[in-house]
Amino acid sequence: MSTEYSAGGPAGAPAPGDVVLAVRDLTVTFPSDAGPVQAVRGVSYDLHAGEVLGIVGESGSGKSVTSMAVMGLLPKTARITGSVEFRGRELLGLSEKEMTEVRGKKIAMIFQDPMTSLNPVYKIGWQLAEAVLAHHDVSKAAARERALELLEIVGIPSPDKRIDQYPHEFSGGMRQRVVIAIAMANDPDVIIADEPTTALDVTVQAQVLEALRAAQQETGAAMVLITHDLGVVAGQADRVLVMYAGKPVEIGPIDGIYYQPRMPYTVGLLGSLPRLDQRTQDKLTPIPGTPPSIVSLPPGCPFTPRCPLHTEICREREPALLPALGADHLAACHHSDQLVNHDRAMEIFSTDPNAAPGQGPRDGEQGTEPDAGPDRGEGLDRSLDQSIERDLAQEADSGPAQDSGVTPGRDARLGPDRGSGHPTEEPGASPTQHPDQDPGQNPDQDPGQDRQSGAAQ
Ligand SMILES: Nc1ncnc2c1ncn2[C@@H]1O[C@H](COP(=O)(O)OP(=O)(O)OP(=O)(O)O)[C@@H](O)[C@H]1O
Ligand code: SF4
Ligand SMILES: [Mg+2]
């Protein structure tokens, strides 16, 4: 179905490789009684036509506020600086009417809760057909046909029956797939999906991710996929941006981020992921401590109190985001060179109580400053060597570790290869929800909850 529009931005589809969204030095500050909340402190990225950029980081790192700023959805109290260009057009400073045009026709947003976007009093088919009619000059019958097609693409079983049902008759995962279908109906150039699978169980998550992938391929849209889980972006993203305390701390191609991270925080996120090559004696290694308060950030690198590699300079000066592995892989760390050539860099967050200097805080010290001196970073080589020696000794005792055929660093749930790592379950064939199951009995329905309509336009 072809699209003709000019309102809200440039008409016509962007060419492959075009920058569709250019975010530059974006900052967002909220006033509060305790002082200014520096939620976003200088985010820059380019999103190219057709690519998927994963934005990853712990809760409160500024992922959603960054995207809400792009969409013009922040409260009026927010102070925003920087630039957000959509296909060359500056979005910051547009009127609400102009932003509504952009949101409706150019950039679609998918939220964690699908009921943010669905209207509970209208049938699914009506809502989908409305989205089609809003963007295409077609008859109502053709819009319904397209609605059916879209439901099929996102994996809704028996779409001819489902099309005449209400949102409350759908499970959470199916509602999210309907929201994705509505986003497709809008023929956006950019889809921003903010934790689209967080509220769903793992099997349904895989199906929704598959639906997202289908939507992205069908529309050719570029996508920003926001999640706190590096495992979710493993099978989806081309590039990953890691955020910490309101700033990007690492950005690069997905393979570089997974196999050659250059920022200890990214290493920590990877270390807390289950991996298929993990041996039974290996524990997942959580990052100790908690993120800092963004109301009164001390000078220096905000990750210092949690970082096993920190030295004096880390306390004094916040590192800039600089090329760390070629021009397209940037990291913000004074000591990123210490992560080079260390396949076992995960060991820097070891919880081993006999850990050598350079390893993470011990049990009971979470959130506190590691107590070694300024040469702590230099201990990394030593501690890695020791841990590798330990591993080799264990392997010698118990025979060679079983070869899983999987390269280290991949999420066990998504498989070893990005291309083949997509979930393979048939949409609609979840073991937790049989396609023919009465949707009215699904436990994750919550028809009574409060909703806004139209947010995923
Ligand atoms: N309207 C607001 N007023 C004041 N502070 C806010 C507002 N919205 C967000 N914040 C603060 O901005 C920071 C970043 O929030 P944001 O929602 O972007 O985090 P996030 O990375 O999306 O986290 P999560 O993974 O939990 O969704 C948080 O500390 C949050 O409390
Ligand atoms: S080594 Fe220093 S700059 Fe790098 S992440 Fe750790 S504390 Fe920050
Ligand atoms: Mg969020």
Question: Residue 68 belongs to what H/E stretch?
Answer: helix 63-71
Give the pLDDT of residue 278. Answer: 55
| Closest ligand, as measured to the CA of 63 | 1
Nearest CA to ligand 1 atom 12: 39
- How close is the Cα of 61 to the center of ligand 3, in Å? 8
Position 109: which residue type?
M
338 Cβ below 6 A of ligand 2: no
314 Cβ below 6 A of ligand 2: yes
Distance CA 447, CA 456 (A): 18
Give the pLDDT of residue 50. Answer: 93
- How close is the Cα of 351 to the center of ligand 1, in Å? 30
Give the pLDDT of residue 203. Answer: 83
In the DSSP assignment, the letter for residue 448 is T
Nearest CA to ligand 1 atom 9: 65
| Closest ligand, as measured to the CA of 228 | 1
Question: Residue 139 belongs to what H/E stretch?
Answer: none
Are 97 and 20 in contact by the 8 Å Cβ rule? The answer is no
* CATH superfamily to which 26-236+422-441 belongs: P-loop containing nucleotide triphosphate hydrolases (3.40.50.300)
Atom of ligand 2 nearest to the CA of 314: 2
* Rounded alpha-carbon distances, angstroms, from residue 407 to 270, 274, 278, 440: 13, 13, 10, 43
- 394-443: pLDDT as tens digits: 444 443 333 333 333 333 332 223 333 333 333 333 333 333 333 333 33
- How close is the Cα of 106 to the center of ligand 1, in Å? 25
Choose one of 269, 287, 333 to mutate for the ligand 2 pocket test, by most ligand atoms within 8 angstroms of C-beta: 333
Can you tell me whether residue 247 is helix, strand or coil?
A: strand
Distance CA 113, CA 127 (A): 17
Give the pLDDT of residue 134. Answer: 85
- How close is the Cα of 127 to the center of ligand 3, in Å? 26
Are 331 and 340 in contact by the 8 Å Cβ rule? The answer is no
Query: b/e map of 55-80 (b: 16 or more CB within 10 Å)?
Result: bbbbebbbbbbbbbbbbbebeeebeb
Nearest CA to ligand 1 atom 20: 60
Give the pLDDT of residue 170. Answer: 95
User: Which sequence spans correspond to the domains of the chain?
Assistant: 26-236+422-441, 242-398
380 Cβ below 6 A of ligand 2: no
Chunked into runs of 10 residues, the chain (457 residues) has average pLDDT values of 43 84 98 94 97 96 96 96 96 93 87 90 96 89 95 94 96 94 91 92 88 91 93 91 98 94 92 63 75 91 95 97 95 92 63 45 36 35 39 41 33 31 34 35 36 33
